[in-house]
Chains A and B, each alone.
Chain A
Amino acid sequence: MTQANSVETSTPTPQKQRKAVALISGGLDSLLAAKVIQEQGIHVEGINFYTGFCVEGHTHAIRKKDKDKQKRNNALWVAEQLGIKLHIIDISEEYKDIVLNPKHGYGANLNPCLDCKIFMVNQAQAWAWAEENGFDFIITGEVIGQRPKSQRKETMPIIARESGADDRLLRPLCAKNLLPTLPEREGWVDREKLYDFSGRSRKPQFELAKKFGFDDFAQPAGGCCFLTDANYSAKLADLWEARGERRYELDDIMLLKVGRHIRPKPNFKLIVSREEGENNFLQGYKKQFTSIHTVSHGGPLTLLDGSFDKDDIKLAAQIVARYSGGKSANAVTVQIENFNGTSYVMDVPPMPAHEVKEEWHV
Chain B
Amino acid sequence: MSYKHSLDCSNLLCPMPVIRTQNALKELAIGDTLEVICTDPGTLSDIPTWCRINQQEVIDTKEHDNQIIFIIKKTAN
Contacts and interface: CB of A to CB of B under 8 A. Distances in A.
A202 interface: no
Contact of A50 (B15, B41, B52): B15
B61 interface: no
B40 interface: yes
A76 B39 contact: no
B7 interface: no
Contacts, number: 76
A202 B52 CA distance: 31
A77 interface: yes
Given A67-B41, A90-B19, A56 B14 contact: yes
Interface centre among A62, A71, A85 (most CB of B within 10 A): A71
A323 B25 CA distance: 44
Interface string B29-46: 000000000011110111
A73 B49 contact: yes
Interface residues of B, number: 22
B13 interface: yes
A86 B50 contact: yes
Contacts of A254: 13
A61 B53 contact: no
Given A73-B46, A73-B49, A88-B22, A284 B15 contact: no
Contacts of B11: 281, 284-285
B53 A58 contact: no
B15 A73 contact: yes
B19 A76 contact: no
A88 B15 contact: yes
A85 B13 contact: no
B19 A73 contact: no
Contacts of B46: 58, 72-73, 76
